[in-house]
Amino acid sequence: MKIALMMENSQAGKNATILNELTSVVEPLGHTVANVGMSDENDHHLTYIHLGIQASLLLNSQAVDFVVAGCGTGQGAMMSLNLHPGVACGYCLDPSDAFLFNQINNGNALALAFAKGFGWAAELNARYIFEKAFSDPRGEGYPVERKAPQVQNAGILSQVKAAINKDNYLDSLRAIDSELVKTAVAGERFQQCFFDNCQNDEIKAFVREILA
């Protein structure tokens, strides 16, 4: 699994801590991590709005399989990511959130709070969140006897979102302020992850057009 980590401006100073905990958990499992957001406060400036655009491009182009995002509370990042087609983002404050999202909702992104409740032993909480998010098979249901209706409902939710977002995905991005999109894709590490792994030529051409 290819996982993208993205941090925005208010919490960029915690990127090294979160990246270390994420890679220490997922790399032994055979997953890879691309650190595509801000790495510190002086890096290419991003808000949680830009994270939603980044996540949608990476997931819809199949450049990555999963996104770990967040902001101060996690709420803005969750809302921003869930605006976009092809993104199913859960809100995660503790390891049980990660486990239940993994088993019941089986989405492709998590939004964490990197300021709210981020105190003593916060790095341990992050590590345990990542263990529950990535160590177990996904979509097994909880409790297990509820697997069938949970899988069915997750599928229905995806169909409903696709119906609501029935316009062409790239048309939806073109309707956004182009400067927002350009800022989202301008970072060097984002571009490396996207262009190295993008599986959709139309989306790739769109990003090149934005950057031109």
Closest CA to 111 of 83, 147, 78, 157: 78
Question: Cα 105 from chain centroid?
Answer: 15
pLDDT tops 80 at residue 203: yes
In angstroms, the CA 109 to CA 102 distance is 10
Give me the residue spans of the domains in the chain: 2-211
What are the residue ranges of helices labelled H in the chain?
15-26, 48-60, 75-82, 95-100, 122-134, 147-164, 169-174, 178-185, 188-197, 201-211
pTM of the model: 0.94
Q: The domain 2-211: what is its CATH number?
A: 3.40.1400.10
% pLDDT > 90, the chain: 83
In angstroms, the CA 7 to CA 40 distance is 9
pLDDT tops 90 at residue 21: yes
Which amino acid belongs to residue 129? I
What does the pLDDT look like over 32-57, one tens digit per residue?
A: 999 999 999 999 999 999 999 999 99
